[in-house]
Amino acid sequence: MREETIQLDHGSGGRAMHALVERVFARAFANDFLQELNDSAILPPASGRLAMTTDSYVVDPIVFPGGDIGSLAVHGTVNDLAVSGARPLYLTAGFVLEEGLPMAVLDRIVSSMAEAAREASVLIVAGDTKVVPRGKADKIFINTAGIGVVRDDVRLGGGNARPGDVVLINGTIGDHGMAVLCRREGIAMESEILSDSASLNHLIEAMLGAFPGIHVLRDPTRGGVATTLNEIACQSGVGIRLHEEALPVREDVAGVCELLGLDPLYVANEGKVLAVVPAESADVVLEAMRRSPRGRDACRIGEVVAEEPGRVFLRTRIGGHRLLDMLRGEQLPRIC
């Protein structure tokens, strides 16, 4: 009879762990590299520059409106590669499981990861599983690492922004952070806020196909849009000015933020990309974004200026200016 919850021997390296790996992980992530079940995945040589990244996911709750920790882990790592200009190829997945985690929950999360990987056209080729006693973790933590290939004609970098460039975004701000927070705190809304968690590699591929000379791409995750643009402003030694009337924020997201005293510009996103593009090419990139399902609501939100290098400002609807500093402290813990 199959166990209904994770037990300590599922991480022992013995029969139970092998059965778990074969029944859950190998079945869901099935591919030619993983099914060898060796200590390493032996991959074919890749032509071009390689990009590699890693991230860990500890979101609470592990299932939230619009996603779960499994799909989030794939989306986050795919996006870290994509905003570097890479075409994601392979992922690894490491799991820390708490004793007592329902097997049905693990099945759901692993299935979600597998579906997210298929949508992003990446393979999960290696993994690891550890089990810790009750109370020593919070249900499940996931680490993912990824490898991709960067096109020769793409030279993205946070230090590439130049005065006169335009700042674009592919849609609304703050959806993921508010979706997670509302579920965690039991905040009821007339219409549920859904996370924007999604892989952006196909959208970014279309953007770079339209104009390979994009200066900067970044996904504004923890710290939100304001912190991410501060990073770019500091790296490039430029100022960035946002226009309040151009910022796309859902009415319900803005409402919850106002209720809780939060600024949507500092709330995490998991399916958004900021693009810094030469002004003369902005329309071409915008058009390419809007043709993609992940970029239908793309718009301009600001520009790069020579004044106030290293700083980000918001021009308000009444014509004033407000400094947008980097996020200080932890506004929303465990949202990714």
Give how many domains the chain has, as a whole number: 2
Output the CA angle 217-219-221, nearest 5 degrees. 155
Rounded to whole angstroms, the Cα distance separating 213 from 189 reads: 42
Express each pLDDT in 95-135 by its tens digit: 999 999 999 999 999 999 999 999 999 999 999 999 999 99
- Residue 256 backbone dihedrals phi, psi, to 5 degrees: -65, -40
Please name which of 71, 244, 252 lies closest in space to residue 178, comparing C-alpha atoms: 252
Strand pairing category for 239-243 and 140-150: unpaired
Specify the pLDDT at position 328: 87
Same domain? 213 vs 312: yes
Residue 217: its H or E element: strand 216-218
Same domain? 126 vs 273: no
The Cβ-side half-sphere exposure at 308, using a 13 Å CA radius, reads: 16
For the chain, list residues with pLDDT below 50. 1
Specify the pLDDT at position 331: 83
Specify the pLDDT at position 188: 85
pTM over 0.85: yes
Specify the pLDDT at position 191: 84
Same domain? 277 vs 144: no
Specify the pLDDT at position 2: 61
Give the residue numbers spanning the domain of 105.
5-150
Domain boundary among 98, 126, 150: 150
Same domain? 104 vs 215: no
Domain boundary among 93, 118, 150: 150
Same domain? 175 vs 146: no
Specify the pLDDT at position 250: 96
Please report, for the domain that includes residue 86, its CATH number.
Answer: 3.30.1330.10
Same domain? 141 vs 274: no
Same domain? 266 vs 303: yes
Exposed/middle/buried for residue 40 (C-beta within 10 Å: 0-12, 13-18, 19+): exposed
Distances in Å between the alpha carbon of 156 and those of 60, 238, 241, 273? Answer: 33, 16, 21, 13
Q: Partners of 241 in the beta sheet?
A: 303, 313
